Amino acid sequence: MYTILQKYFGYTSFYPLQEDIIKEVLGQRDVFVLMPTGGGKSLCYQLPALLFDGITIVISPLIALMKDQVDGLLADGIPATFINSSLGYGEIDARRQSLSDGEIKILYIAPERLVMPEFLQFLQGLKVSLLAIDESHCISEWGHDFRPEYRQLRLLKKKFPKVPIMALTATATPVVQKDIITQLELSDCKVFKASFNRKNLYYQIKSKDNPYQQILQYLEVRKKDSGIIYCQSRKTVESLASSLQTSGYRALPYHAGLTAEVRTENQERFIRDDVEIIVATIAFGMGIDKPNVRHVIHYDLPKSIEGYYQETGRAGRDGLKSDFASSSLVMPINSR
């Protein structure tokens, strides 16, 4: 475990609970993982994927998340791929062939694709060693990002009865936790709950008063820092991104109204540090693993505490300490 940890991920020690979670799943047992954003959930299934003989299937709700994760894994020398609607038929066939040939260790797919009868039959023909369900709160009707398609994942136990299932989320009330475990029919499931206190994040709340000037004042000494500004509407995203560009900031918009090509390009430019700021609706961020995000600003107040926590948690994934000038700073602006 430690050899793999250092060789592929560059760490010499685990975050709290990671080692225990990995040992549990290597023992072929189901697990439920409640861990804060930035707490290292992905490693809990990525590392055992390299120790298992077969393939690990990761069920993820967002195309942007899949691409981001796969790009990172490939950069670390880990054979991974995704299959989703952003690919043409020829590319999907090529990736399926790579899976059949045993060339891939980690596959990312959406729940909608997994439950397609023909694709599910294809997966059953592979040697599947682990099923990881990311953002598993989506399976619960009490979860803040409920997606009906996730309910169909209860078939996993029937289709892959001997394969351990790992359910992961950063936000789940006790009711949601119980519902996830029930819906997935996890047997003798061990529950892991990490602390949600990330000491490297600094929270600041201000009354909303001429918010654009407040943002400019805040950014004045942080012009080279990566940051995300969340807005409720697409119109606000476009307007704010344009205003920041006029003020001399490298900022790009991100929302569901943009074409898939534009969204992908803007996300990749942000990941590569070609631009410092992404102005986005909640369509951006779930699972985005950019370690050096120094600040998250809420131009509009999120609709739920869970959403607020997930979005602020995009900052400081590299673990650097908070600093008002340049380090891991989360600045939610309260909307009246």
Residue that finishes a domain, picked among 172, 193, 214: 193
Asked if 282 and 300 sit in the same domain, the reply is yes
Output the six-digit token pair for 207: 């009354």
Asked if 31 and 155 sit in the same domain, the reply is yes
Asked if 76 and 163 sit in the same domain, the reply is yes
Report whether 61 contacts 145 (CB < 8 A).
Answer: yes
CATH number, domain of 91, equals 3.40.50.300
Which range marks the domain in which residue 49 is found? Answer: 2-193
Q: How many domains does the chain have?
A: 2
pLDDT of residue 223: 87
**Contacts by 84-93, CB closer than 8 A, 24 or more apart:** 84/108, 84/109, 84/110, 84/113, 85/110, 85/113, 86/260, 86/264
Q: What does each C-alpha distance from 329 to 38, 209, 325 come to in angstroms?
A: 14, 20, 8
What are the pLDDT tens digits along the chain (336 aa)? Answer: 999 999 999 999 998 899 999 999 999 999 999 988 777 899 999 999 999 999 999 998 877 678 878 988 999 999 999 999 888 999 999 999 999 999 999 999 988 899 899 999 999 999 999 999 998 988 887 766 777 778 889 899 999 999 999 999 987 888 989 999 999 999 789 999 987 777 788 888 888 888 899 999 999 988 889 999 999 899 999 999 999 999 999 999 999 889 878 988 898 899 889 999 999 987 665 546 677 888 889 998 887 777 777 777 777 777 775 332 223 334 444 433
Residue type at position 190? K
